[in-house]
Structure 1
Amino acid sequence: MGIRTEDTRQTAVRLPKETYARLKVLAEKTGRTTTYYIREAIEEHLEDLEDIYLAEQTLERVRSGEEEVIGSEEFWRDMED
């Protein structure tokens, strides 16, 4: 099932010449569009980027003392209770 046009938003992305050339070759060799591969790359990596951002925020809270860190033994002990 494809993506319906009314469910999408358009944006512009600037790519280095070499990256765009690679993208064009891939699209031509596979019969897909460059847009398809750009969307695939974003969807594939967006969750990873979100996780990294949230982890960085948590690390900052730990470093500033706003977030408590417990050891694995204490964690598992608390899970058994």
Structure 2
Amino acid sequence: MLAIRLPPDLEARLENLAKATARTKTFYAREAITAHLDDLEDLYLAEQRLLENRAGRSDSVPLADVMKHYGLAD
């Protein structure tokens, strides 16, 4: 179970969309979360890797090496 408070303007937009499409606000909230959760997880992981790299706890690989490894180099 999840309860969220939305700003009034966003709540109104969601309500209008739900009415116009005969779907529930919950349907669209679920769709939005599903669509963006992967992106948010990827962003968090990238930020963590960047911090580790900057702190010297991980190594980086030059782009040219990666492209050559996957056969993408000219």
Superposed pair shares fold, TM > 0.5: yes
Rounded Cα–Cα distance in structure 2 between residues aligned with 1:25 and 1:34 = 9
Aligned to 2:27: 36
State, as a whole percentage, how many aligned pairs show the same letter: 45
Other-structure match for 1:61: 52
Structure 2: distance between partners of 1:74 and 1:34: 48
Residue correspondences, number? 71
2:14 pairs with 1:23: yes
- Residue 71 of structure 1 is matched in structure 2 by 62
Per-residue CA distance 1:23-80 (angstroms, 9 max, x = gap): 0000000000000000000000000000000000000001001110121333455668
1:48 maps to 39
Paired position in structure 1 for 2:5 = 14
Secondary structure at the aligned position of 1:11 is classed as coil
Gaps in structure 2 of 5+ consecutive residues: none
Q: TM-score, normalised by structure 1?
A: 0.79
5+ long unaligned stretches in structure 1: 1-9
